[in-house]
Amino acid sequence: MYPAKFDYYRASSVQEAIQLLQEHEDAKLLAGGHSLIPAMKLRLAQPPALIDIGRIAELRGVTQDNGSIKVGALTVHADVAASDVLQSQCPLLAEAASNVGDRQVRHKGTIGGNLAHADPASDLPAAVLALGGTIHLLGPGGSRQVAAADFFLDLLATDLHEDEVLTAIEVPAISGKTGTAYLKFEHPASGYALCGAAAVVSLNDDGTCAGASLCFNGVTATPHNASAVAAALVGKTLDDATIDQAVNANLSIADPMGDMYASGPYRVEVAKTYAKRALKAARDRA
Q: C-beta of 187: minimal distance to another protein in Å?
A: 10
Given candidates 14, 16, 19, 37, which one binds another protein under the rule CB under 8 A? 37
| Burial state string for 17-32 with b = 16 or more CB within 10 A and e = fewer than 16 | bbebbeebeebbbbbb
Residue 218 near residue 196 (C-beta atoms within 8 A): yes
Question: What track of x and - describes contact with another protein for positions 160 through 199 (by CB under 8 A)?
Answer: -----------------------------xxx--------
Q: What distances in angstroms separate CA 143 from CA 18, 97, 150, one per listed residue?
A: 12, 26, 16
Residue 31 near residue 56 (C-beta atoms within 8 A): no
Q: How far apart are CA 35 and CA 37, in angstroms?
A: 6
Nearer to another protein, 14 or 49 (CB): 49
Backbone angles phi, psi at 237, to 5 degrees: -85, 125
Count of positions on this chain that bind another protein (CB under 8 A): 30
Question: What track of x and - describes contact with another protein for positions 67 through 86 (by CB under 8 A)?
Answer: -----------x--------
Helix (H, G, I), strand (E, B) or coil at 66: coil
The closest alpha carbon to 4, from 36, 47, 33, 34, belongs to 47
Given candidates 22, 23, 25, 38, which one binds another protein under the rule CB under 8 A? 38
Establish if 254 lies at the interface with another protein (CB under 8 A): no
Given candidates 33, 61, 139, 172, which one binds another protein under the rule CB under 8 A? 33
* Interaction site with another protein (CB under 8 A): 1-8, 10, 30, 33-34, 37-38, 40-41, 50, 52, 54, 78, 101-105, 107-108, 189-191
